[in-house]
Amino acid sequence: MWRQVQGSHDWDGLLQPLHPVVRDEVARYGELVVACYKVVDVDPSSARHMCCKHGKERVLEEAGVAGAGYEVTRYIYATPDVAGPPSASWVGYVAVSTDEMTRRLGRRDVVVSLRGTMTQAEWAANLMSALEPMCRDARPDVKVESGFLNLYASSASKSCRSAGGMGSCRDQLLREVSRLIKSFSEDMPGEDMSVTLAGHSMGSALAMLLGYDLAELGLNRDASGRRVPVTIFSFGGPRVGNAAFKDRCDELGVKVLRVANVRDPVTMLPGAFVNEGTRGFLNAVAGGGDRYTHVGVELALDFLSLRDLGSVHDLGTYVSSIKAETCGKVPDAVASRRGGGVVAKAMEFVESQGAAAFAWQEAALGGLVQSLGLI
């Protein structure tokens, strides 16, 4: 049932209750993203600061997922140029399933695994919430957050030895994913393939941009011209673009499963107060203009630790909650307020105060997210 697990029917009937195969597959992809956090060098004094500490041949073993059944083919770097001199940071990897894993899965699986925010420059980019066209010439109506686009499309520097001269995060990803599709479809004609993009927080935003690009540019077609399905598993992901971006992703057949803790404020940003669900006064204030809109199908979680508020966005806790099957059991009162507690009170306040309060409340929620160490 791999096509259904990858969203061929938008996970209809598989989420409530959560199908055990879907549960295991979503958790598996989450663990491949957790691996990104385990191997990045966060020592500021290191010559490889914000690069991966291990070579491609050993990285999954060092991250504790040696039996994942994938071979890493390329490391990916992003270079936001919004805070100081541009500097490349390792954000994840591209991998492909081994022959043994391919037989188990029923198809050759190309995986992109992307981490969330870890540097000040990435933080600065995340908070650039203005919408701008993804492709100014081709589809100016399709708009995405300027900060995420900056991370995705800015050219890499030579601060990481492996990143020098390789172009932007976008260039690296498009080149490697399309290469793998072409290579394996030529070597193994007739073999089914899938492209799975898995990311946490900022990484899920980058995965969304990549999924759109692959489908819009037609790079998800194999050597015979068959379309290779593109699926995104987003963990604690923010909104990325406007309604036109969502609609175009739907038209292109990009499938997105958003795994979201209803108490996680990151999943409410950007566009916390003017979005696809805005009603009443703020709906009139928006004036029918661009609004941030979530893409895909939501798999709702509900977890909170008062001793560690930052855990509402922790990827490890996301994966543990999926394994514990706490999905789809969200109380209506909690789901209706999307966040509960402090976030819910902030939303209630801005709705009561109107337009004058909108801008600074949106910024305040962003500040809350940053102070908790989220994204």
Question: What is the secondary structure of 343-375 as a DSSP string?
Answer: HHHHHHHHHHH-HHHHHHHHHHHHHHHHHTT--
pLDDT at 137: 75
- At residue 284, what is the residue type? A
Q: How many domains does the chain have?
A: 1
Instruction: Give me the catalytic one of 204, 313, 314, 321.
Output: 313
Confidence check: pLDDT of 364 > 50 = no
157: left (phi over 0), alpha (psi -120 to 50) or beta: beta
Give ∠ CA 56-62-63 in degrees, rounded to 5: 95
pLDDT at 289: 59
Say whether 313 is catalytic: yes
pTM: 0.86
pLDDT per position as a tens digit, 184-241:
999 999 999 999 999 999 999 999 999 999 999 999 999 999 999 999 999 999 999 9
Phi, psi of 221 (to 5 degrees): -115, 140
Instruction: Give me the catalytic one of 222, 264, 302, 314.
Output: 264
Please give the Cα distance from 264 to 116 (Å, whole number). Answer: 14
Percent of the residues in the chain that have a pLDDT greater than 90, as a whole number: 67
pLDDT at 348: 43
pLDDT per position as a tens digit, 66-93:
999 999 999 999 998 876 677 889 999 9
Q: For the chain, what is the mean pLDDT?
A: 85
CATH (domain of 365)? 3.40.50.1820
Instruction: Give me the catalytic one of 201, 234, 311, 321.
Output: 201
236 or 333, greater pLDDT: 236
Confidence check: pLDDT of 288 > 80 = no
- At residue 174, what is the residue type? L
pLDDT at 138: 78
Say whether 247 is catalytic: no
Say whether 264 is catalytic: yes
Q: CB atoms < 10 A from the CB of 306, how many?
A: 7
pLDDT per position as a tens digit, 3-20:
999 999 999 999 999 999
Which structural domain range is residue 198 located in?
2-371
Please give the Cα distance from 326 to 263 (Å, whole number). Answer: 13
Q: What distance, in Å, lies between the first and last C-alpha atoms of the chain?
A: 33
